[in-house]
Amino acid sequence: MLVFFKERLAFLSMPKTGSTAYQSALASRADIVINEPPLLKHAPVYRYNRFIRPMFLNVCDAEMELMAVMREPISWLSSWYRYRQRPFMKDKPNNTHEITFDDFILAYMRGQRPGFAEVGNQLKFLERQPNGTGITHLFAYEDQPRLQSFLEERLEVKLSIKRENVSPAFEVALSPDIEERFRRKFADDFTLYESISKN
């Protein structure tokens, strides 16, 4: 998470959307940088609302606008799947070695997900809270120029983004019937993504 106090902007770091690269590029410009622990670095709206927002509101009488990045849902899960196939993950309980992408998606769709498929949910991460706290500026991961343009203008900086924490690059295939089931079950995720990717 990055907070730019003067600009009243907090950049929430959705996992697997390039957030680490942006944190590295903007760390020296930010007023607050949360790199650890992961539960705070990747704090969703509900955690920001409960723990971070009151700090600014009660001490500084300041309300931040929130920004975040969302990735196309299948691509987002593909990145998680590939990330957990890194060689050093082989002996860890949440690795995806010996698991097909089909099986990964099927496991993700279960009510009780096994550890290797427990990666959270983008819609839940972005969910507006009952008190109105929500994302003000939402960007599609696949539209980097729009995201960078916004940050450069808002923060008056010139960005140079270097890829970090990248998942291994290899093709993954999802069976058409499983993709159809996934799109039906997570229709709201696709609806939200399509609403931002078309802007």
Q: What one-character DSSP code corresponds to residue 49? A: I
Q: Tell me the pLDDT tens digit for each residue of 117-145.
A: 999 999 999 999 999 999 999 999 999 99
Q: Tell me the pLDDT tens digit for each residue of 92-102.
A: 989 999 999 99
Of 57-66, 136-145, 156-165, 184-193, minimum mean pLDDT range: 156-165
Amino acid at 182: F
Provide the domain limits for residue 35.
Answer: 2-197
CA atoms of 178 and 7, how far apart (whole Å): 44
**What pLDDT is recorded for position 117?**
96
pLDDT bin (cut points 50, 70, 90) of residue 197 is low
Q: Is the pLDDT of residue 199 over 70?
A: no
Written as one string, the DSSP assignment of 138-193 is EEETT-HHHHHHHHHHHHT--------SPPP-------HHHHHHHHHHTHHHHHHH
CA atoms of 79 and 169, how far apart (whole Å): 9
Q: Chain-wide mean pLDDT for the chain?
A: 94
Tell me the β-bridge partners of 9. Answer: 4, 65
CB 124 within 8 A of CB 44: yes
Domain count, the chain: 1
CATH number at 36 reads 3.40.50.300
Q: Is the pLDDT of residue 150 over 80?
A: yes
